[in-house]
Amino acid sequence: MNDLGASPSPQPDLPSRELALRAARGDGRALTEFVRATSRQVWRTCAFLVDRASADDLTQETYLRAVRSLPTYRAESEPVRWLLTIARRACADEIAHRQRARVITAWARAAYRVSTIEPSLDVELADAVARLPPERREAFLLTAIAGFSYTEAASLCACPIGTIRSRVARARAELIAGLDAPTQQRWDQAQ
């Protein structure tokens, strides 16, 4: 109570280390308070680093990562600084994902002599590349996207040129086969 007899309004103070540590020990109420107290800052950071349209999803991703990391939180830094570091990493991952999608789309346009690909195909193609087995994805990205020769890619992967050729051919076949029938029809129409 203050001097006027009214209870003080809640302060939008940042969560203390104690609040974060209680959340780390499994206190659900402390976790809820922690999220409430920091969500606005996290959202603003994500909106600034990526864009406003993605800020909600990136804020959610930040808290998912933070909750998984809470058991290892040691209060060596301010809780908000720790949380914003996680948000920056989530944003960096999103930006890298978008960049990979643009590169893959550019390759697809050039390889198939297509001037435009509808955005949903961009996403589906990037997802299909991400689902490739690591060795095939690496060979495909090195040759088709990064522009390395088969010889250079073989040297980078420490395997024979024939292996690289096989991996790239299989990757291309899997990419085409991995698209569902409606997507393949849209892809064929785009060509």
| Residues 73 and 117 reside in one and the same domain | no
* pTM for this entry: 0.53
Model pLDDT, residue 9: 37
| Residues 84 and 126 reside in one and the same domain | no
Q: Does residue 107 form part of some domain?
A: no
Q: Does residue 149 form part of some domain?
A: yes
Among 96, 131, 157, give the residue marking a domain's end.
Answer: 96
Q: Are 34 and 23 in contact (CB under 8 A)?
A: yes
- Look up residue 12 and give its amino acid: P
CA angle 125, 129, 133 (to 5 degrees): 155
Among 61, 96, 131, give the residue marking a domain's end.
Answer: 96
| Residues 74 and 120 reside in one and the same domain | no
Contact residues for 84 (Cβ-Cβ < 8 A; gap 6+): 41, 42, 45
Q: Does residue 2 form part of some domain?
A: no
**CATH assignment at residue 91:** 1.10.1740.10
Model pLDDT, residue 19: 83
Model pLDDT, residue 94: 87
| Residues 129 and 177 reside in one and the same domain | yes
Say how many domains are in the chain: 2
Length of the chain as a residue count: 191
Q: How far is the C-alpha of 21 from the C-alpha of 4, rounded, in Å?
A: 35
Provide block-wise average pLDDT over 10 residues at a time, the chain (191 residues).
Answer: 40 64 88 89 90 92 92 82 90 82 65 53 72 86 78 85 93 76 55 48
End-to-end CA distance of the chain: 72
Model pLDDT, residue 152: 82
Among 96, 129, 157, give the residue marking a domain's end.
Answer: 96
DSSP string, 84-106: HHHHHHHHHHHHHHHHHHHHHHH
**CATH assignment at residue 146:** 1.10.10.10
| Residues 86 and 129 reside in one and the same domain | no
Domain that holds residue 40: 17-96
Q: Does residue 30 form part of some domain?
A: yes
Count Cβ atoms within 10 A of the Cβ of residue 35 and give its class: 0-12 exposed, 13-18 middle, 19 or more buried: middle
